[in-house]
Chain A
Amino acid sequence: MRRILICAGVAAASWLAPIGARTPLAQNVPAAASPDTTARVIVKFRAESSLLRKQALSAAGQQTLQAAGLGQRIGVALDSGRGLDERSHVVIGHGLTSRQLAARIAAQSDVEYAVADERKHIVAVPNDPLYAPTTAPARGPAVGQWYLKPPPPAGSASAAWGSTAPAAINAEQAWDVTQGNLSIVVAVLDTGVRFDHPDLQGGNVLPGYDMISADSGNVFTTANDGDGRDSDASDPGDFVSSAEATASCGRSSSSWHGTQTLSLIGGATHNGVGMASVSHGGVRVMPVRVLGKCGGYDSDIVAGIRWAAGLPVPGLPDNPTPARVINMSLGGEVACEQSYIDVLGQVNAAGVTVVASAGNSAGHAVSSPASCPGVIAVAAVRHIGTKVGFSDIGPQIAISAPGGNCINDTGACLYPIVAASNSGTTTPVPGPPGAIYTDSFNYSLGTSFSSPLVAGAVALMLSVQPTLTPAQVKAKLQSTARPFPTSGGTAGIPVCMAATGVDQLECYCTTSTCGAGMLDVAAAVQSVNGVQASIALTTTTPTANQAIALASNSALNAGQSIVSYVWTILNAGTSGATITGARDGAAVVVTPTAAGVFVIELATTDNKGFFSSTTLAVTVVGPPVPPASTPPAATPSGDGGGGALGVGWLMLLLSAVFALAGVSHLERRRAARAVSGSVRAVRKR
């Protein structure tokens, strides 16, 4: 395996820090230096430094003295580490970061330089030949698999981009964190797959299922394999002959579309063959065949969604390897159907993240199922980050990713998406002659290829944090997405507008048309690569004047542990809630004095230095109401009142009524005071 060592240039914890805005979800950031933080700095003294005066000591002894002397000057106890040469060696301190220590040392006049002694990261640059830039007469793109690479520095000139571009999804750096986890299965609902393709021989392609049923009776025109639903998900071809063509379904060659999309997600990587995939071939991919000639029926697609997620489908064996991610590079020109709404709600509830392509109607409304709730809808951007002409857009879009764009009207396509395919125009061509790739001269374009890039990113996120819910996955993808460019597109292009039924070709994306931004796989993976704070409320019915138990339910990866908990009441509201006892343990006890809502925060730090916090709003009910036959008895409450009809209860009730009625906060407070007073007045009588 060819790996290239690069200088990451930042400390491990800093390097792993998430990029982009924070979300309402658990936040994940590197912690500040704690007393047990160890700093390592390489220091080189100037030749005239007094600290270099020769002593009758060994080299190691001299360096120990140098470190001690330097430490005295800057007020940090320093140990001596490895010596590099006569004037250079590593010093080690505690209680501050390497960068902080380096800054202090560098300020000394007799120090030539001081730099943090950083961990270096292994960047897995795959050896797949199509990944690298190719030169004529090769058919591969001149920029290789540009879209998987780190983007160029923001604002850099296009002449300096080399084999990457601003819309590149930065998978390469994500592979330093994870190259996938085979426990994660991505279902690819498509035309099936050519199992014999050499880039699908990594042992991670599951058998899947053929979900295409009969058109009617014993007619299997759509399926094109002579039978209905069965366990053979291989793609027999979806060509449409002249005799089969209609006005709505023209003559076409076989697309091998499922092989293409599946290979983008999970094709074998770093195998010296063909292409690399987003997941580095490290997750399992499962073909579920739902499309044949002229597409596929909704009933087969919906059944495929259910089966992929491990939900039962009448008459079929259960899926032994349920998917955590479903990719659907397909769509139709209608609003989301109830059958899709139902099934997507069910699979989301089962923890399955669904990703779908926006559609290719040139800036029209997003098609179903991408338009459905519970789907991460993906639009396509050009290499520079503007909307590519064919992509549909709309408020349902969650994020954008490259879909391929050629720039040239003739000749080589400059920024295609590389995918595994087959050379057969009707039936598949077996063996090496048949196994081909889309490239600069045999290219496919579409949101079909944007969606698998996102699905692969989701698979990597789940590889490091399997507990993520579909909603969390979407939020993290969006919060880590890079902003769309606002300049640099083709001269004169407009800003993308809401779909109106008129074509919109290249335009500058906005967050209301192309989603939160451009996919950044490394940032998305890094954002979930640490403790994920979560609070469990263990008291069934939080009640005023009773102890309420809360506990950390935070998610951790293998080898991680939580080293710090901090619980804080952010807002006690009317509940008067306070923490009783320790606030730095895995669990905490809160005692409210009245009904209301309090907001508590849990902040955690893991042993990798990741910090994550989350909040929970807890609704507290008033004390139990005595039976009606019992004479009212005064009980203490937070506002000094109490009784059969507690003030807290009334306040809570009033709040709910006001919330429904849209009454302003000020008006609520006035009314609450009035009610509180009237209740007290009643008691006085």
Chain B
Amino acid sequence: MMFTTMAGGVASAAAACVLGVGLGACVAPAGAAAETSAAVRVMVKLAHGSEDADAIAAEATRIAGIRVTHAAATSSSWHALAVHCASAAQCDEAIARMRAAAAVYVVVESEGRKARSTS
């Protein structure tokens, strides 16, 4: 099993997102719906590939212990999920539970954003 080494990355991003000061891990940039202000996006690599977004979200919700929605698929293995948490601590705990589910997730890493490379 391979796990990302960004153990603190998701939590930090989550905290930033929950505090409303960062875009990186939030499900929407500022100005988006208020309900998204307390959600963190993660990329997960499934141990067993699937394209069933609803089933992936349901299983993630069960494992995380809080609501998780499917954000986007990149392949049958890799999916972006939005973890809807009320606080940074809750985000950390939820994501830690997902990371612990090694039989389900090979990798759980923070989903970041990229920007154009103009100065």
The chain A residues found within 8 Å of chain B, CB to CB, are 190-191, 213-217, 219, 221-222, 229, 240, 243-249, 255, 257, 290-291, 293-303, 306, 311-315, 329-332, 334, 337-339, 342-343, 357-360, 367-369, 390, 444-449, 451
Would A299 and B43 count as touching, CB distance under 8 A?
A: yes
Which residues of chain B are near A359, meaning CB under 8 Å?
117
Would B29 and A330 count as touching, CB distance under 8 A?
A: no
Would B115 and A332 count as touching, CB distance under 8 A?
A: yes
What is the CA–CA distance of A256 and B74 in the complex, to the nearest angstrom?
25
Q: Which of A213, A293, A334, A358 is in CB contact (< 8 Å) with B112? A: A334
Known: A222-B28, A244-B29, A244-B30. A295 touches B114 (CB 8 A): yes
Would A339 and B107 count as touching, CB distance under 8 A?
A: yes
Which residues, 89 to 109 on B, are CB-close (under 8 Å) to A?
A: 107, 109
B39 within 8 A of A: yes
- Closest A residue by C-beta to B36: A216
Known: A255-B118, A315-B51, A451-B117. A299 touches B74 (CB 8 A): yes
Interface hub of A215, A219, A229 (most chain B Cβ within 10 A):
A215
Known: A191-B116, A299-B43. A246 touches B109 (CB 8 A): no
What is the CA–CA distance of A314 and B75 in the complex, to the nearest angstrom?
6
Q: B39-83 vs A: 1/0 string, CB under 8 Å?
A: 101010100000100000000000000000101111111111010
- Closest A residue by C-beta to B107: A338
What is the CA–CA distance of A245 and B21 in the complex, to the nearest angstrom?
11
Would A338 and B2 count as touching, CB distance under 8 A?
A: yes
- Closest A residue by C-beta to B41: A297
What is the CA–CA distance of A444 and B112 in the complex, to the nearest angstrom?
25
Q: How far is the CB of A225 from chain B (nearest CB, A)?
A: 15
- Closest A residue by C-beta to B81: A299
Interface size on B, residues (CB 8 A): 44
Known: A247-B21, A331-B115. A339 touches B32 (CB 8 A): no
Would A342 and B78 count as touching, CB distance under 8 A?
A: yes
The chain B residues found within 8 Å of chain A, CB to CB, are 2, 4, 9, 21-24, 27-33, 35-36, 39, 41, 43, 45, 51, 69, 71-80, 82, 107, 109, 111-119
Which residues of chain A are near B111, meaning CB under 8 Å?
297-299
**What 8 pairs between A and B have smallest CB-CB spacing?**
A299-B80, A215-B28, A295-B115, A357-B117, A446-B118, A390-B119, A448-B117, A360-B119
- Closest B residue by C-beta to A359: B117
Q: How far is the CB of B47 from chain A (nearest CB, A)?
A: 14
What is the CA–CA distance of A329 and B119 in the complex, to the nearest angstrom?
12
What is the CA–CA distance of A295 and B109 in the complex, to the nearest angstrom?
19
What is the CA–CA distance of A257 and B116 in the complex, to the nearest angstrom?
7
What is the CA–CA distance of A243 and B29 in the complex, to the nearest angstrom?
11
Q: How far is the CB of B28 from chain A (nearest CB, A)?
A: 3
- Closest B residue by C-beta to A213: B72
Which residues of chain A are near B74, meaning CB under 8 Å?
299, 302-303, 306, 313, 339, 343
Would B32 and A299 count as touching, CB distance under 8 A?
A: no
Q: Which of A303, A330, A447 is in CB contact (< 8 Å) with B115? A: A330
11 contacts across the A-B interface (CB closer than 8 A): A213-B80, A214-B71, A219-B28, A249-B29, A255-B116, A294-B29, A298-B80, A299-B73, A306-B74, A338-B4, A339-B78
